[in-house]
Amino acid sequence: MRTELGKELQKWRYDQGVSLSEMARDMGISPAYLCDIELGRRKIGFAIRKKLQIHTGLDLRKLSLISDNEARIVLSVLDYATKKKVIDIALDQMEKGA
């Protein structure tokens, strides 16, 4: 059964003029796997949802079908991890320069 996720992905591909094979290659997955996602034959985990979000720029909530609250938590954790990484890099550079 076709899912909203599958419809959104296929629409994005068509709008961008990107073939299924090209998108799959860029994401590091097989064309058959991406086709199954678009057709709703495959459930996807967080790692693939994140790849899809990064590749397409689509909203994580649309891609994951999780609640707004769960999406906020995930995005908060990702934001924290990104900020922490930036701070760790800055501190490391300061230590090397000192």
Sign of dihedral through CA atoms 77, 80, 44, 57?
A: positive
CATH topology of domain 1-65: 434 Repressor (Amino-terminal Domain) (1.10.260)
Other C-beta atoms within 10 Å of 23: how many? 20
Residue 47: which pLDDT band, with cuts at 50, 70 and 90?
confident
Q: For residues 38 and 6, is the Cβ–Cβ distance under 8 A?
A: yes
Q: Where are the domains of the chain?
A: 1-65, 66-98
Residue 33: which pLDDT band, with cuts at 50, 70 and 90?
very high
Write out pLDDT tens, residues 61-92.
Answer: 655 555 555 556 766 777 777 777 778 887 88
